[in-house]
Amino acid sequence: MNHWVPPPVAPFHSQSVSARIRRAFAVGRVRWGMLVLVFFATTLNYIDRAALGVLQPVLSQAMQWTAQDYANINFWFQVGYALGYVVQGRMIDSFGVKRTFAIAVALWSIAAAAHGVAAGAVGFMVCRFLLGLAEAANYPSCVKTTRLWFPAGERAMAAGIFNAGTNVGAMLTPLLVPLILNVWGWQAVFYVVGSAGVLWLVFWLRHYYDPEAHPGASKAELAYIADKGDEAPAAKLPYSKILRLRATWAYALTNMLSAPVFWFYLYWLPPYLNKQFNLGISVSKMGMSLIVIYLMADLGSVGGGALSSWMIGRGVPPVMARLRSMALCALCIVPVVLASSADGLWEAVAYIAIAVGAHQAWTANMWSLAMDMSPKNAVSSVFGFGGMVGAVGGMFMTQLVGYVLTVSNENYSLLFTLIPCAYFVGLLWMWCMAPRQPETVR
C-alpha cells in the first residue's frame, strides 16, 4: 500500500503552534492510540494505590491500626517501589516495553487482589510491598512509550495526558470504593481492582507495538515521530555509564524531593479530611472533595505540558521551556501552607487543589525534561534510577508523616509548610544540573 508522504516542512521547533497542530493531524493518529493505552494503565495503577487511602478509616477501625501502623504499611509499598523501579526500568530498555509492562501489570493485578485476604497490618505490608514492586514498571513504561512514539515538541503534552490518569484514578476511587464497600465489603474492593488490570492487559497485548513494528503506522507518521532534532542514535549503555550522565542525577534528586509530596496527598488526604472535617467514607462528602482536588490535578497535568510546548513553539529551547514552567509551578504551590488553618472544608480543598494541580504540571515538565536530556535507549534506565531515588524519598516521607502525626496528635500544619520548600530546592538543583542539550556517551 502506498502511503501519503507530506511535502518538505520547516523543522519541528521552528513551526508555529497552528502549523504543528495541522501537521500532527495530517500525518496520522496511531501514536495517540498508544497514549490511550498507557493513560488507562496509569488510571488503574492509581486506583490500586488510592483504594487503601479511601478505605483507611474502615480498615483502621476493623484492624485497630494506629497512624504509625498506616505509615509502616505505606513504607513497605515504597520499599517495593524503589526496588522495582530500578530493576524494571533496566528491563524495559533490555527486553522492550510491550513484554515487560505486560508481565508487570499481570503481577500487580494479582498483588492488588491479594489484599482481600490479607490479615492485619503485617499482611497488608506484604501485599503493599509486592504491589509496589510490580507497579514500579508503570512510569518507566509510559515514559518509554512516549519517547518512542512522540517528537520532542509533543512529549510534554503526551506526558501530561498519560499522567492525568493518576488523577482520574484518584477521582474514580472515592466514587467506586463506597459503592463496592456497601454492597460486598472491603475485600471485594481489592478483587475488583485486580480484575480490572487483567482486562487492560488483554488490550495491551493485542494493540501495542513499537513504532517500526506497528502494522497501522504510516510512513508519514513514522517520519513525523522521528523529527527529534539532531539527536544521534546511541549505542546500548551499561549502567555504569548511565550513572555518569548529568541527566540521571538532575532528574533523580529533583524527583526525590517532589515525588513524595504526591504520595502524601494520595495516602494522607483522606485521613486528613476525615479528621479535620469529619467526612467519613461517602461519595457526597469525601468523594466530592477528592474529585475537585484531582480534577484540578488533571487540568494541571495537561496544562503544564501544554505550557512548555507553547514556549517551544515560540522558539524557547526545550530545556529552558521546561525549567521556566517548573518555576511557575513552584510559585503556585506556595499557598498550600494555608490549608491546615482553613476555616472550612472548601477553603482547604481550594488550597490543596491548586497545589496538586501545580504538582502535576511540574511533573509533566520534569519528565519531559528528563526525556529531552537522556539518550533514546537510556530513557527507561534513567527513569528507573530516578524513580528508585524518588521512592526512597517516599519511604522517608511516610515515616516522617507517621512520626509527626503521632507526636503532634495528628496536626498537619508542619507537613503543609514543608511542601513548597521541596519544590524550590528541586528547581535550584535541576536548574544547575540539567544539560541544555541531549547527552551522548561514548
Rounded CA gap, 190 and 177, in Å? Answer: 9
CB 78 within 8 A of CB 398: yes
404, 405, 408, 412 alpha-carbon torsion, rounded to 10°: 90
3-state secondary structure of 226: coil
At 118, the amino acid letter reads: A
Would you say the C-alpha torsion 12, 15, 20, 22 has a positive or negative sign?
negative
b/e for 70-92, b at 16 or more Cβ within 10 A?
bbbbbbbbbbbbbbbbbebbbbb
Please give the mean pLDDT across all residues of the chain: 83
- Grid coordinates representing 280 are 467519613
In a domain, 131, yes or no: yes
Q: Which domain holds residue 325?
A: 28-222+254-433
**Alpha-carbon 141 to chain mean position:** 11
pTM for this entry: 0.73
| pLDDT the model gives residue 235 | 55
Would you say the C-alpha torsion 42, 246, 418, 332 has a positive or negative sign?
negative
In a domain, 227, yes or no: no
Rounded CA gap, 339 and 333, in Å? Answer: 11
Task: Using the structure block, give the residue that is written with the C-alpha cell 481492582.
Answer: 193
In a domain, 207, yes or no: yes
| pLDDT the model gives residue 232 | 46
| pLDDT the model gives residue 351 | 95
In a domain, 370, yes or no: yes
Q: Among residues 158, 229, 325, 225, which one has the least CA distance to residue 14?
A: 229
358: CB partners within 8 A, 6+ apart:
300, 304, 329, 330, 332, 333
| pLDDT the model gives residue 266 | 80
CB 338 within 8 A of CB 378: no
Task: Using the structure block, give the residue that is written with the C-alpha cell 520548600.
Answer: 421
Task: Using the structure block, give the residue that is written with the C-alpha cell 493531524.
Answer: 25
b/e for 370-395, b at 16 or more Cβ within 10 A?
bbbbbbbbbbbbbbbbbbbbbbbbbb
In a domain, 229, yes or no: no
CB 56 within 8 A of CB 280: no
Rounded CA gap, 251 and 113, in Å? Answer: 33
N-to-C CA span, the chain: 40
In a domain, 239, yes or no: no
Task: Using the structure block, give the residue that is written with the C-alpha cell 523529527.
Answer: 227
Q: Among residues 46, 144, 158, 42, which one has the least CA distance to residue 88?
A: 144
- Grid coordinates representing 291 are 474529585
* pLDDT tens, N- to C-terminus, the chain (442 residues): 433 333 344 444 444 445 555 555 566 788 889 999 999 999 999 898 888 888 888 888 888 888 788 888 988 998 898 888 778 777 887 888 899 999 999 999 999 999 988 878 899 999 999 999 999 899 889 988 988 888 877 877 787 788 778 878 878 888 888 889 888 989 999 999 999 999 999 999 999 998 888 888 888 888 888 764 444 444 566 777 888 888 889 999 999 999 899 888 888 888 888 878 876 555 556 778 888 888 888 888 778 878 888 888 888 888 888 999 999 999 999 999 999 888 888 999 999 999 999 998 998 899 888 878 877 777 777 877 887 888 888 888 888 888 888 888 778 888 999 999 999 999 999 999 877 665 565 5
| pLDDT the model gives residue 388 | 82
Residue 392, domain CATH: 1.20.1250.20
Q: Structural domain tally of the chain?
A: 1
Rounded CA gap, 116 and 147, in Å? Answer: 36
Rounded CA gap, 223 and 203, in Å? Answer: 26
CB 47 within 8 A of CB 196: yes
Q: Among residues 65, 128, 406, 425, which one has the least CA distance to residue 266?
A: 128
- Grid coordinates representing 293 are 482536588
In a domain, 235, yes or no: no
In a domain, 248, yes or no: no
| pLDDT the model gives residue 160 | 77
Rounded CA gap, 42 and 273, in Å? Answer: 25
Rounded CA gap, 36 and 282, in Å? Answer: 30
Rounded CA gap, 101 and 97, in Å? Answer: 6
